[in-house]
Amino acid sequence: MYVVNCLWKFEAKSPTSPLLPRREDPLEDLILHLVYRPDPTALKLREVLATNAHQLVTNTSFMSQ
């Protein structure tokens, strides 16, 4: 039923037509890259915080005094 409605309303030229293969959209790819790319500063901060926390957990010499 969806295919019939789509063809009836928009013909086969519609970008959402089930008869057309999905095309790549370079602008959409760029937007997704800009939105979801990791922030290098945040990644470095997370790495430093994880390293310090790891050192505190494994270094228990301060507790033996």
Q: Pick from 10-14, 21-25, 26-30, 58-62 the range whose average pLDDT is largest.
A: 26-30
Residue 53 lies in a domain: yes
Question: Longest C-alpha distance within the chain, in Å?
Answer: 82
In this predicted structure, the answer to whether residue 36 has a pLDDT above a threshold of 60 is yes
pTM of the model: 0.29
Residue 48 lies in a domain: yes
Residue 31 lies in domain = 23-59
Position 1: which residue type? M
Task: Count up the domains in the chain and report the number.
Answer: 1
Nearest in space to 4 (alpha carbons), one of 20, 23, 18, 22: 18
In this predicted structure, the answer to whether residue 13 has a pLDDT above a threshold of 60 is no
